């Protein structure tokens, strides 16, 4: 995907924010190490990953809770527990949708409990942006 440049980065970041398990950070680092513009890489990665998370949110929002529980192998008790957690912390959970392993589930569950789309979307975007800023900085720092 590195050979596809910014387009490949966008695709990988979008797909990495769905339930497909792979690292978009590796592609981001690869492009930065190949002297692609780091600012453009961060913007492309953030937008791609944010849109991927928003598609997961939409899946939860418009999906059938029983099918989603079966598909993600979530026990109904866990859905109820997350629902209570989401009522307590609400949209703020969106900021943590970047966390590997649970971020995709957070996005789907935020849709399931129907958190307000605009503030949830903004917090998801900010979390993704911060992650890619830090990752790009670490890559540039390691590059020397």
Domain ranges of the chain: 2-143
- Ranked by mean pLDDT, the top range of 7-16, 61-70, 72-81, 96-105 is 7-16
The residue with tokens 């339930």 is: 19
Q: Calculate the average pLDDT of the chain.
A: 89
Residue 91, pLDDT > 80, answer yes
What pLDDT does 1 receive?
A: 63
- Ranked by mean pLDDT, the top range of 1-5, 61-65, 111-115, 136-140 is 136-140
What pLDDT does 55 receive?
A: 95
What mean pLDDT do residues 79-100 have?
Answer: 84
Name, in order, each residue with C-beta under 8 angstroms of 31's C-beta and a sequence gap of 6 or more. Answer: 2, 5, 6, 9, 41
Residue 111, SS3 per DSSP: helix
Per cent of the chain over pLDDT 70 is 98
Name, in order, each residue with C-beta under 8 angstroms of 72's C-beta and a sequence gap of 6 or more. Answer: 19, 105, 108
Of the candidates 129, 10, 133, 120, the one whose C-alpha atom is nearest the C-alpha of residue 54 is 120
pTM for this model (two decimals): 0.88
Q: How far is CA 70 from the centre of its chain?
A: 21
Q: For residue 22, which phi and psi values (nearest 5 degrees)?
A: -155, 170
């Amino acid at each position: 995907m590195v050979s596809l440049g910014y387009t490949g980065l966008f695709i990988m970041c979008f797909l990495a924010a769905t339930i497909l398990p792979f690292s978009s950070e590796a592609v981001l680092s690869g492009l930065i190490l190949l002297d692609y513009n780091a600012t453009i890489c961060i913007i492309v990665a953030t937008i791609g990953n944010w849109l991927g998370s928003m598609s997961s949110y939409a899946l939860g929002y418009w999906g059938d809770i029983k099918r989603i529980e079966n598909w993600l192998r979530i026990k109904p008790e866990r859905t109820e527990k997350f629902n209570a957690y989401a009522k307590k912390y609400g949209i703020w959970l969106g900021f943590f949708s970047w966390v590997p392993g649970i971020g995709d589930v957070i996005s789907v569950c935020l849709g399931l409990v129907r958190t307000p789309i605009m503030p949830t979307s903004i917090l998801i975007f900010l979390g993704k942006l911060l992650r890619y800023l830090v990752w790009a900085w670490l890559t540039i720092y390691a590059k020397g």
